[in-house]
Structure 1
Amino acid sequence: MEASAGFSRLAEGVRRWVWKQGWPSLREIQEMALLPVLDGKEDVILSAATAGGKTEAAFLPACTRMAESPLPGTAILYVSPLKALINDQARRLESLCGSVGFPVTPWHGDAPEGGKNSLRKNPRGVLLITPESLESLLMNSPAWCGEAFAGLVNVIVDEFHAFLGTERGCQLQSLLRRIEFLIGRTVPRIALSATLGEMEKAASALRPEKTLPCRILASEGKGSELLLQVRGYRTPRADRGARPGLPGELVQDVYRLLRGDSHLLFTNSRSRTEELAAALSALCGRNFVPNEFFPHHGSLAPDLRRSLEERLQKKDLPTTAVCTSTLELGIDIGSVASIGQVGEPGTVSGLRQRLGRSGRRGGPAVLRVFAEEDETGPDSHPADALRLSLVQTAAVLSLLLRKWREPPREGLYHLSTLVQQTLSVIAQYGGVRADQLWTLLCGTGPFHAVGKKDFGDFLRGLAEKQAITQLGDGRLVPGTEGELLTDRYTFFTAFSSPEEYRLEYNGELLGTAPLEIPPSPGGSLLFAGKAWETVAVIASSKTVLLRPSAGGTPPRLAGGRTVVHDTVRREMKQVLLAGDPSRYFNPTAAELFREGAERFRNWRLGETDILEDKGSLHLFPWRGDEVVEAAAMLLRRMNLRADTFGGVITLPGCSAAGLREAAGRIPGRGLPSGEELAADAPDTEIEKFDYLVPERLRRRGWAARYLDVPGAAEWLGSLAGRK
């Protein structure tokens, strides 16, 4: 192996370890990272394809810094979003870190206690941990943390893209800031990610306080050949009482194409995962062959998930994991023969991450999208008639091939996580003054969008809810509610899954469903194959009261709760304007696409955003979900009923003239703020600790996450003829 200047600076033990691997050379991202990490004067973001060598790119120079550091304590803090990934990395890193004489300790709820106890007695080497376990350490063992982290030379954040724009990501930003405050110095950070858009925004997310410069190192690599196909399936129309199951042809095709090798088959919901896995397993039974198809999602017991991951790793039996996003991140299951996606992909970044699991070791990357589309009829919603689910698939694939990625979200308040971090810091120090809290968390921390006045209102709101109380010397300490919260292990988790809403009709429970944004009164909902109209939303009990809808059938648009980006929706319109199915569509998918494109032309939607149909208007902004939701809320303020389905706004009983008159009354200036508009939302308590946030601030945070009021006003102004 030819030694570069960077390689020559690695510790002797690290160099020996590399030679033992038999590598002919370092990979591009590994060579690029050596000098910046070794110098230790800046943060570094390493972006490369899945299995592109990012872990070694970070740890080869970081282990050298660890070996050369004279400081006592843990030298490298590695943070991962997944326990399983920590376990994998602990096995991978043991020999590399051992080459310079340092141990690797995994630390999470399921990690062996022996390793944790050894680290408690003698903190040294590499600590691999989740944000939740790190939160627990800072709260409950602050003195030990001060000693253990005093010698940190690097912080490494794996799967960095999974943290961006999330409550958990903001929690991690705060934890890293608190560690630096505790030890009194700045520690260079290294972020690893396979998929990032607008890297400069990612750099701001790695260190919001910007006390170190950030170097961005990206390696596209040569890449694998991509074999791509979209397979279309027609689903028979459901009657009013039942939802159709999976198309039998789809199940047969998956069985035929995937049986005999190892694959990952992603779906957009846990229920679809279970349904498909059960159908495939039953088909194996009917054919008297061993089952090769197994579900993998977050609701399954950890032992069941681990056994499937181990089966994929061993590669001694053909195995297809039918999964949600749980296998999207970097758990080491090795390479699989192909990636499947059932239903439209929600984001380009997510699909790119999934695709990285295939095509390793020089073979082609294989992606198949299985696209279900309902048969349409006279009462079908235009979103279904246009085949927007299939069009979204085409748009996401087009952007994927052009190497576009969604940029990180900015401008979010993360007030629920601010509640958690406020209580955590108070517990860590036993009591803190308000000005100290603001400086640590907001002034120089990740909650910089919260000014001093708003923070004062925020603290008063916590005091009113008895989460905190103030002592005579001015220190803030936990109140009754705060003590109850911080005494539970569930407190360490900043994020929450969307709550299950009860769906009721005439006092009867129809079922429950996770709804991130519940429908507004008068809005429509599709559940169990039936169309319902929302009568009321009771936020306190998370209940949606329904009655049968008198209108047509809402669209089938499948998928989870992913927010669709502006660029994806604009690309959808361009795909329809082009009018031709992509060469990677199979005949059925191409036929379905042509049906949608023909209707798009017949309805002249390339020239207008308005479609009049059976006494209703359907509006096509071709904009992201934040614009669509804000536009619908502004129209409701004009006394119009406005339902949203997959980027389409439906106005029952409205004429084009009535729409233009209403849109003309929406001011170009003097618009309601997002905070004011959020007052119309049926429920803004979305995140885990939102119930403790004062209502005014909670509305502001909700609006920042879900609404783009200026974008909506601009589009509505175009309908009214206002430039």
Structure 2
Amino acid sequence: MSESIGFNKLHKGVQKWIWSQKWASLRDIQEEAIEPVLDADCDIVISASTAAGKTEAAFLPACSKLIGQSPDGVGILYISPLKALINDQYRRLQGLCEILGISVTPWHGDVLRSVKIKQRKNPNGILLITPESLESLLLNQGSWCSKAFKSLCYIIVDEFHAFLGTERGCQLQSLMHRLEFLIQRTIPRIALSATLGDMKQVADSLRPNKRLPCKIIESTVSHSDLKIQLRGYLTPAQQNEETESTMDEIIGDLYKILRGKSHLVFANSRARTEEIAAKLSDLCVQSLVPNEFFPHHGSLSKEIRESLEARLQKEKLPTTAVCTMTLELGIDIGSVDSIAQVTSPHSVASLRQRLGRSGRRGEPSVLRLFIPEDEITVNSHLLDRLRVHTVQCIAMINLLLKKWYEPASLNQYHFSTLVQQTLSVIGQYGGVRAQQLWALLCETGPFSVVDQSLFAIFLRGLGENDLITQTADGQLVLGYKGEKIVEHYTFYTAFNTPEEYRLEYNGKAIGTVPIDKPLVREQHIIFAGKRWEVLFVDDENKLIGLKTAKGGKPPKFSGDGLMVHDIVRQEMRRVYSEKITPVYLNDAAKSILKEGIDNYHALNLDNKQIIQAGSTVHALPWLGDQTINTITVLLRMHGLSADCFGGIIDIRNTTINDFFSAVKHILSNTKVSPTELASLIPNTIIEKHDPVIPKELRDIGYGARSFNVDAAYSWINRLWHNHSVHRTLVTSRL
């Protein structure tokens, strides 16, 4: 450490802990973070891949500062998106903090009441918390927060990229702002984030009002080598009970390839996670070998999840976790040999985050993708003919290698979260004037796109729904329904959480299921990688009793995919156009890709974006879902039966001439706004508190989130111009 300038600035106890770890040197981000964290005069974004030392980069200098200042109360507030990550960081920080004499307190729904009482009586040290638990503290114990956080030195937000552009992220921004307002001090914020394409955008999201400057510290260390394989699978057009299903074939390959080592398998949905884990476990039983395949998702009980995490950390037994995004974030699970992705990933950013779980300790990162496609028949849709799933995976891998990642969707209204934060602030202070609310939440807070006129409409809507009411002296207080909402345990989450049924076996809870369709008695299901029969369903207590069984299908969990970005679709077109065949495809994937590329060129899609197939016109703008959605609704507005799937717009029972007639009308009329388009959507109730938001505001929020009017009109203009030029050329030739 003699060459390290920063090391000598750290507290002696911190230095002692570093020596005990036998580190030869500090990592680049750890060295670079020491001075700005100690200076505490700016916000900081520390960006690097998983297991690159981000936690230590923040906490080593922050703890050094804490020892020097001896704050009267909590010194560091650490906010995490996951309870499991809090538990993990608690374990990781204990050794350091024992040397320094700093207490570390985890605080979430699963933490013992006695631990919380101890912190309440004597607030001190480092508090590890989720946004939802912080919401509860501010609402219910505002006076305690005022005392406990009065000397706060830092707010550290882990996995900050997971919050960007979401309702929960907006809640987090509001909570940090409200906390500073409560203690009347600006607290330096440190965000730990995966490396994303536009780090300045990440920095701007950390403190939207820019009251402090923000320093970006990004790791310059190159990542380990990357090994990729994309395996293709063909689903026969006609399958019978005797035919092995494509998913069974994929599961068989997962078993052969992964058994004997440790891996993560990402399956995009909880239902598929359970199916894969159960069938892999069945294969272990059939082979008379110990099971090493286990599911991991948010509905499993804490004991089941933590048992699997501990097994991965010990690295003594081969262990494969079949998981949702719960293991995408930075929980310390030790080193895994590879990452498997079953079906297409949602985004390049998600793929990068998942890949970061592999390739530690100098070993190459290994990524295997298992991508099924349907066999092509005379009735196949254009999506299948073009092999869109396979090409989208290739495009995402290309962009991953170029280090491009989707930017967060910013400048959203987040009216649903504004409902929550409005009720929470009123509940916290008992009564607030409308101007004070707007100044706190909108003028200086994260809802800056909501001006005073919109806020007035917003408050009237809450009043009409009896969520708030106004006293004779002009104070806004909670109405009868508002009090009921705030008092309910689900209030603290900003996002939709469907009512969950608790699953019990022999009186012991094994998890919960947020199900779209209720389970019924004697139904067979898969959960926790095992097969069960439903004994009883107690709707009043939301309880389902189970017994072990042999058959079963995964319960239908809720959850939707993310929107595909413009850049991904444009890269897909480049793959088709340049006939790119990556070296990492197996023979089946090469054959599948060749079909897609051949069909693309047979249809002359390099030169055409509109084609007729029977009575259906297909439009291929090669743009993201926001823009595709906009074009689709514009076409519907002008009388066409348009729908969109996977980036392709289908217009049924029409001709190309009718299509261009509609395009001409679109361009000759006044340009519509996103809000006008949203007003045509039958149901814009999407987020948690949307039902109480006036429809005119709901349309504004939905329009801003779902549509890209400028990009849609730009494409339509280009299309019409090319069509007009083509008609002119044809006429002149005649």
User: In the alignment, what sits opposite 2:489?
Assistant: 489
1:553 corresponds to which residue?
A: none
Structure 2 residue aligned with 1:391: 391
Distance 1:374 1:284, change over 3 A: same
- CA change 1:630–1:61 in 2 (3 A) is same
The 1:668/1:42 distance shift into structure 2, 3 A limit, reads: farther
Contact 2:66 2:153 in 1 (8 A): yes
SS of structure 2 residue aligned to 1:720: helix
Q: SS of the counterpart of 1:105?
A: strand
Identity level (%): 54
- AA aligned to 1:18 is I
For the residue of structure 1 that corresponds to 2:445, the secondary structure is coil
1:54-104 Cα shifts (integer Å, max 9, x gaps) = 000000111111111153110000000000100010111112123322100
* Residue 699 of structure 2 corresponds to residue 699 of structure 1: yes
Q: Aligned AA for 1:402?
A: K
The aligned counterpart of 2:430 is 430
Mapping 1:319-718, distance limit 5 Å: 319-496=319-496, 560-667=560-667, 670-718=670-718
Aligned residue identity for 1:252: G
**Partner AA of 2:31 in structure 1:** E
- Answer yes or no: is 1:224 the counterpart of 2:228: no
User: Displacement, 1:241?
Assistant: 12
Cα pair 1:178 1:440 within 8 Å, conserved: yes
Moved more, 291-300 or 229-238: 291-300
Tell me the residue number matched to 2:121. Answer: 121
Shift of 1:242: 13
Q: Secondary structure at the match of 1:366?
A: strand
The answer to whether the 8 Å contact 1:262/1:320 transfers is yes
Shift of 1:122: 0.9
Deviation at 1:245, TM superposition (A): 4.1
Match of 1:33 in 2: 33
SS of 1:721 mapped into structure 2:
helix
CA shift, 1:249, in A, is 2.9
Structure 1 letter corresponding to 2:289: V
CA-based RMSD:
2.0
Residue 301 (structure 1) shift = 2.8
Whole-Å separation in 1 of the counterparts to 2:6 and 2:429: 42
Report the CA distance shift for 1:147/1:669 in structure 2 as closer, same or farther (over 3 A).
farther
Secondary structure of 2:474 counterpart: coil
Alpha-carbon deviation of 1:243?
Answer: 12
CA–CA distance in 2 between the matches of 1:23 and 1:45?
Answer: 24
Task: Show the counterpart of 1:73.
Answer: 73
Q: CA deviation at 1:133?
A: 0.2
Per the TM alignment, residue 453 of structure 1 is displaced from its structure 2 partner at its CA by 0.5
1:550 aligns with none
Q: After superposition, where does 1:13-32 map in structure 2 within 5 Å? A: 13-32=13-32
8 A contact 2:77–2:127 mirrored in 1: yes
Q: Is the 8 A contact 1:390 1:593 kept in 2?
A: yes
Cα distance in 2 for partners of 1:247, 1:486 equals: 44
- Equivalent residue for 2:196? 196
1:48-127 alignment, distance < 5 Å: 48-127=48-127
Work out whether residues 668 and 714 of structure 1, in 8 Å CA contact, stay in contact via their aligned partners in 2: no
Of stretches 443-452 and 658-667 in structure 1, the one that deviates more from structure 2 is 658-667
Say if 1:498 and 1:686, in contact at 8 Å, map to a contact too: no
In the alignment, which residue of structure 1 is the partner of 2:210? 210
2:190 counterpart letter in structure 1: I
With over 3 angstroms needed to count, the CA separation of the structure-2 counterparts of 1:198 and 1:693, relative to structure 1, is same
1:394-453 Cα distance to aligned partner (Å, 9 max, x none): 000000011111112112111100000000000100100000000000000000000000
Kept after mapping to 1: 8 A contact 2:106/2:128? yes
Shift of 1:247: 3.9
- CA-CA distance at 1:3 after TM superposition: 4.9
Partner of 2:169: 169
Alignment partners' CA distance in 1, 2:384 and 2:700? 34
Mean Cα deviation higher: 664-673 or 377-386:
664-673
CA contact (8 A) 1:235 1:244 kept: no
Quote the offset at 1:284 in angstroms: 1.6
Query: 2:496·2:687 contact (CA, 8 Å) conserved in 1?
Result: yes
Deviation, 1:278, is 2.0
Cα 1:167–1:484 shift into 2, 3 Å? same
Distance 1:366 1:698, change over 3 A: same
Please give the alpha-carbon distance, in whole angstroms, between the structure 1 residues aligned to 2:319 and 2:125: 36
After superposition, the Cα gap between the structure-2 partners of 1:182 and 1:354, relative to the gap in structure 1 and judged at 3 Å, is: same
1:582 aligned counterpart, secondary structure: coil
> How far off its partner does 1:476 sit?
0.5
Aligned partner letter, 2:165: G
| One-letter identity of the residue aligned with 1:720 | W
Q: Supply the distance in 2 between the matched residues of 1:220 and 1:647 (Cα, whole angstroms).
A: 36
Read off the aligned partner of 2:169 and give its amino acid letter: G
Task: Render the CA deviation track for 1:656-710: whole Å, top value 9, x for unaligned.
Answer: 1111110111137731211111011121110111111111011111111111112
Deviations 1:191-223, CA, capped at 9 Å, x for gaps: 001232211111111001110000111004131
Give the Cα–Cα distance (whole angstroms) in 2 for the partners of residues 331 and 258 of structure 1: 21
- Report the Cα distance in structure 1 between the residues aligned to 2:279 and 2:129, rounded to whole angstroms: 38
Paired residue secondary structure (1:642) = strand
Contact 2:417–2:689 at 8 Å: present in 1 too?
Answer: yes
TM-score by length of 2: 0.89
SS of 1:152's equivalent in the other structure is: coil
* 2:491 counterpart SS class: helix
Q: Deviations over 1:339-361 (max 9, x none)?
A: 00011112111010000110101
Whether the 8 Å contact between 1:461 and 1:694 is mirrored in structure 2 is yes
Contact 1:660/1:719, CA 8 A, preserved across alignment: no
Q: Which one-letter code corresponds to 1:382 in the other structure? A: L
Whether the 8 Å CA contact 1:237–1:244 is kept in 2: the answer is no
Change (3 A) 1:560 1:435: closer
In the alignment, is the contact (CA less than 8 A) between 2:341 and 2:370 conserved in 1? yes
Q: How does 1:141-180 map to 2 (within 5 A)?
A: 141-180=141-180
Tell me, in whole angstroms, the C-alpha distance in 2 between the residues paired with 1:335 and 1:96: 22
After the TM superposition, which of the residue ranges 625-634 and 708-717 deviates more from structure 2? Answer: 708-717
User: What count of residue pairs does the alignment treat as equivalent?
Assistant: 669
- Contact 1:236 1:244 (C-alpha < 8 Å) held by counterparts: no
Could you tell me whether the CA contact under 8 Å between 2:197 and 2:403 is conserved in 1?
A: no
What letter corresponds to residue 663 of structure 2 in structure 1? A
TM-score of the aligned structures, taking structure 1 as reference length: 0.90
Letter aligned with residue 619 of structure 2 = L
Q: Distance in 1 between matches of 2:573 and 2:243?
A: 29
**How far apart, CA to CA, are the structure 2 residues paired with 1:352 and 1:580?**
22
Residues 105 and 126 of structure 1 are in contact (CA less than 8 Å); yes or no, is this contact kept in structure 2? yes
What's 1:233 paired with?
233
Structure 1 residue 44, shift from structure 2 partner: 0.3
The answer to whether the 8 Å contact 2:28/2:220 transfers is: no
CA contact (8 A) 1:246 1:276 kept: no
Task: Please tell me whether the aligned partners of residues 4 and 25 of structure 2 are also in contact (alpha carbons under 8 angstroms).
Answer: no
Partners of 1:237 and 1:598 in 2: CA distance: 20
1:481-533 residue CA offsets vs partner (Å, 9 max, x unmatched): 10000011110000115899xxxxxxxxxxx869xxxxxxxxxxxxxxxxxxx
**Partner SS for 1:376:** coil
Paired with 1:130 and 1:250, the residues of 2 have a C-alpha distance of: 37
Q: Secondary structure in 1 aligned to 2:339?
A: strand
Cα distance in 1 between the residues matched to 2:612 and 2:244: 29
The alignment partner of 1:666 has SS state of helix
Evaluate the alpha carbon distance shift between residue 427 and residue 48 of structure 1 in structure 2; reply closer, same or farther with a 3 A threshold. Answer: same
**Quick one: structure 1 residues 253 and 240, their matched pair in 2 at CA, closer, same or farther if it must change by over 3 Å?**
closer
Letter in 1 for 2:601: R
Equivalent position of 2:521 in the other structure:
none
